[in-house]
Amino acid sequence: MTSSLSPELTALCEAASHEQDPKKLLELAKRINDALELAEPGKQKSTQPAPSSDNSTAA
C-alpha cells in the first residue's frame, strides 16, 4: 500500500502511534494537524467557537 502523505507527516504519524507520554502525544497530534492544514490550502482553520448547547440565552 502506498501513501500519499509526505515523509514528514508519515514519520509524525508513526511516532504518534507508538508514543506513551500523553504530553508528547498531544504535541505530535498538534504537529500532525498543522501539517495537514498546510497540505490543504483551500481549507481554512476554524477560529469560531463551537455552537453552545446552552439555551438559557435564547428568546
Distances (CA, A) of 38 to 21, 31, 57, 58: 26, 11, 37, 38
Q: pTM for this one? A: 0.62
* Cell numbers at 56, concatenated: 438559557
pLDDT tens digits along 6-59: 899 999 999 999 999 999 999 999 999 999 998 877 665 555 555 666 665 555
**Backbone region of residue 48 per phi and psi (left: phi > 0; alpha: psi in -120 to 50; beta: other values):** beta
What pLDDT, on the 0 to 100 scale, is given for residue 33? 95
